[in-house]
Amino acid sequence: MKFVSYWHDTAPVFSGGAQGPVEGHYDAAIIGAGFTGLAAARQLAKAGAKVAVLEAERVGWGASGRNGGHLNNGLAHSYLSAKAELGKERAIALYRALDDSVDTIEALVAEEGIDCNFRRAGKLKLASKPQHFEAIARNFEALHAEVDPDTELLSAADLKSEIGSPFHGAMLSKKSAMMHMGRYVAGLATAAARHGAVIHENAAVTDRKQAGNRHELTTPRGRISADNVLVATGAYTTPNFSYFRRRIISVGSFIIATRPLSDAEIAATMPGNRTCVTSMNIGNYFRLSPDRRLIFGGRARFSATSDQRSDARSGQILQAGLAGIFPQLAKVEIDYCWGGLVDMTKDRFPRAGYHDGVWYAMGYSGHGAQLSTHLGMILADAMLGREDRNPLKGLEWPSIPGYSGKPWFLPMVGLYYKALDRIQ
Ligand SMILES: Cc1cc2nc3c(=O)[nH]c(=O)nc-3n(C[C@H](O)[C@H](O)[C@H](O)COP(=O)(O)OP(=O)(O)OC[C@H]3O[C@@H](n4cnc5c(N)ncnc54)[C@H](O)[C@@H]3O)c2cc1C
C-alpha cells in the first residue's frame, strides 16, 4: 500500500514553476497554490495583471491534491438548515454559487484543454437509516421546488440499479460532477503560468508587512512586494496569519483507494458510477476513479493531524467501513491510503472577502473542490475592479472563543457525533 494521495501519484507533476529568487513587485501576490489561489492567479494573469503565487510546498500539495474528487452542487448543510440559518435569499444564492462553481470548472477545463476526466456523474445522498430518508425527502421537497429542479428522490427499490448496498433511498443531484483532482490542479497551474503568472514553489510566506496599499511578503527564498494580497491557504494556514487561524478549524479527513475493480465487481457495487455520500454524521463518501478503483473516504477519527501514522490508523477504520457498505469488497486489496486537512468553519459556511488589507477565500468545510475555483476567480475580478459577485459578502465571521488554532475540542466533537449517530 502506498501512503500517498492517489491524485498526486497518477497526475503529471507541475513543471512550470519559477526558478531563481523570489523578488520583484506585483499587482497581486497569492499565498497558496491550491484551487483557490491558482484560479485567482489565472484569472488575474489572463486580464494582464502581474501576479505571483507563493506556495510553501508544491502546487496542489494541500487539500486540492488530497480530496475525494467530488464536485457536488450542494452545501455542507441541507438546503433546509441553510435556509433556517441564513434566510431563504442567502441560502438560495449560496446554493446557486455551488451550481455555478461546477459550471465554472466545466468551462475552464474546456477553455484550457485540461485532461482531467471531468464528468457530470450526478451525486447520491444515501439514507443510511429509514428516518434519514424521511429527512432527505423533506429537504428534497423544498430544494426541488425552490432551487434545484435537477434533483430526484430515489426509493430503496430505485437504488438497486445504482448501488449494490441496502440503503433506504437517496436524493440524486444530477448537476454534480467528478474529475481527477491531480490532473486538474496541475492543469490549472500550467494554465495560470501560460497566461503569465509566476509560481514559486517551496516559498512559504513567513512574514507580511503593509505600508498603505503596499504589502511586502517574505519567504526563505527572497521577498516580493505587491499591491494586492490573496490569502488562499485553507486548512494549512500558518500561525503568522492569526486572524484566519483563529477562525479555521483544520480537521483530518482520510481516504483509501482499492486496486482497480473488475467489471463484475463494479456491477455488484457501483453500477451507477456516481459520487456517493452517506447520511451519517461520521459518514463516508465514495466514487470510482478513472481507472476503476473505489475511492472511499471519511472522517474516520476526529483527528487534527494527517501523517502516515494517523492516515494508516484511519485507513483501517475506513477499510472496516467499506466492508460494512460493500461486504463483496471486504477482502479487496487497498493500494492507496492518505489524508488531508479540511478547512472547517464553526458554522460550516465558507467565507470570502477583504479583511485588514488582504483578500481571502476559505472555510469551505469539505465542499470546496468546486467552490474554491469559483471564488478564486470572483475575488480576482474584485481585485481587478470588476463587478463584485461574491456570494458571501457581508457574512459575519466571528473568531471562536477559546480557540487560537489548535482544535483541542475535536475528540469531544467526535464523541458527540458518534453518540448522535447511535440515537438518530
Ligand atoms: C481528504 C479530503 C477530502 C475532501 N473531499 C472533498 C470532496 O470530495 N469534494 C469537495 O468539494 N471538497 C473536498 N475537500 C475539500 C477541498 O479539497 C478543499 O476545500 C479545497 O481543495 C481547498 O482549496 P484551497 O486552494 O483553498 O486550499 P488548499 O488546496 O489546501 O491549498 C492551500 C495551500 O496553501 C499553502 N500554504 C499554507 N500556508 C502557506 C504560507 N504561509 N505560505 C505559502 N503557502 C502556504 C499550503 O501548502 C497549501 O498548498 C476535501 C478535503 C480533504 C482534505
257 domain residue, yes or no: yes
CATH code where residue 275 lies: 3.50.50.60
270 domain residue, yes or no: yes
Report the atom number in ligand 1 closest to the C-alpha of 341: 53
**Sign, CA torsion 279/72/117/69:** negative
Pocket test for ligand 1, best of 289, 351, 364 (most atoms within 8 A of CB): 364
- Could you give the number of structural domains in the chain? 1
Nearest-CA residue for ligand 1 atom 13 is 366
403 domain residue, yes or no: no
Residue with cell 496542489: 60
Domain ranges, residue 299 = 6-383
* Å from CA of 182 to ligand 1 middle: 12
Nearest-CA residue for ligand 1 atom 52 is 67
* Distance in angstroms (rounded) separating the CA atoms of residues 135 and 120: 25
- Record the pTM: 0.96
The grid coordinates listed for 295 are 475511492
420 domain residue, yes or no: no
- pLDDT of 408 reads 79
- pLDDT of 300 reads 66
- pLDDT of 422 reads 83
408 domain residue, yes or no: no
401 domain residue, yes or no: no
391 domain residue, yes or no: no
Q: Report mean pLDDT in 10-residue bins for the chain, 424 residues.
A: 96 95 98 98 98 98 98 89 95 95 98 98 97 97 97 97 97 98 98 98 97 94 97 97 96 95 98 96 93 91 74 88 96 96 95 96 96 98 95 94 83 79 81
| Nearest to 5, CA basis, from 316, 339, 315 | 339
- pLDDT of 15 reads 96
242 domain residue, yes or no: yes
